[in-house]
Homo-oligomer: A and B are copies of this chain.
Amino acid sequence: MPAARGRLFGLGVGPGDPELLTLKALRLLRGVQVIAYAAPEHGDSFARAIVASWIEGHQREIVIRFPMRPGRPPIAIYDAAAAALAGELDCGHDVALLCQGDPFFYGSFINLFTRLADRYRIEIVPGVSSLTACAAAAALPLVSRDETLAVIPATLDEAELARRLGDADVAAIVKLGRHVAKVRRVLDRLGLIDGAIYIEHATLADQRVAPLACIAPEEAPYFSMALVRRNRSHACRAKSHG
C-alpha cells in the first residue's frame, strides 16, 4: 500500500513583523517536514525572513526563485515549483508554503494552488494582510459602517485607475512600487492627492508613513501602498514615523 499523501499548507505569515504570525501558522510551520518559499534570483526570501527564528535545522527547504524583472514570472517557474511540491507530497511529506501577508491576497501562491488543488489536500491559513497592516501603521481607520473599499493595483493603466479611484469611498492602491508618478498624476487630477497616505514596509523596523504628495517617484520600494479617503487631507509635514 502506498504511503498517504502529504498535506500542503498555504501559510500566511503576515506583513513583516515576525510577531504578526498567527499561533496556527506557527504550529503548522513547526510540524512539517518541508518548508517552501519564494525568493529573488539572487538574495534572501522575505517570507522566510519573517519566520526565520522558528525554523529548525532538520526541516528541508525548497526555494522557488523568481527573476526580479517586472511583469509576470515565466510559467515554467510555477510548473517546476508545483512539480517539486508534488514530489514531496507524493512521498507523504507535509509541506508549508510560506506566503507573506495572506496567501490569497495577491499571493504568488495562487499560481501553485491552481496547479495542485485538484490533486492534493491543501489548507489555506489566512494571515494578516498588508491591507490592514498599512491602515494600522497609518493610524487610518480603513472602512466603517456603509463605506465601500476598492483595492486597486497600481499596475492598471491611467484611464482605468482614474475610473476606479473616482468612484471609491476608500481606496487601497497596492503594488505601488514603480508606479508612484502615474498614481500621483491620477490622484492629482481627481483632487484626491491630499487625501492619500503612503506606507512602506508596514510593521517592519524601517516602516515609513507619509503623505503620498511628498513621495518622489524613485523612492518607493516594491512593498509600498497608498490609502486614499475622500474628504480627508494630509498635510505634507512629518515625512515618517516608526
Residues of A within 8 A of B (CB): 10, 12, 14-15, 17-24, 26-27, 72, 102-107, 110-111, 113-114, 117, 122, 124-129, 131-133, 135-136, 139-153, 155-156, 164, 167, 203
Contacts and interface: CB of A to CB of B under 8 A. Distances in A.
Contact of A24 (B20, B102, B104, B105): B20
What is the total number of copies of this protein in its complex?
A: 2
Nearest to A143: B106
B12 A132 contact: yes
Contacts of A131: 105, 129, 131
Contact of A19 (B17, B20, B27, B113): B27
Contacts of A147: 153
Given A24-B17, A26-B23, A110 B153 contact: no
A132 B126 contact: yes
A131 B126 CA distance: 9
30 contacts: A12-B128, A15-B126, A19-B22, A21-B23, A23-B26, A102-B132, A103-B136, A104-B132, A104-B135, A104-B143, A105-B131, A105-B132, A105-B142, A106-B143, A106-B144, A122-B139, A124-B135, A126-B132, A126-B133, A126-B136, A126-B203, A129-B132, A146-B153, A146-B156, A148-B150, A148-B156, A148-B164, A149-B150, A150-B151, A167-B167
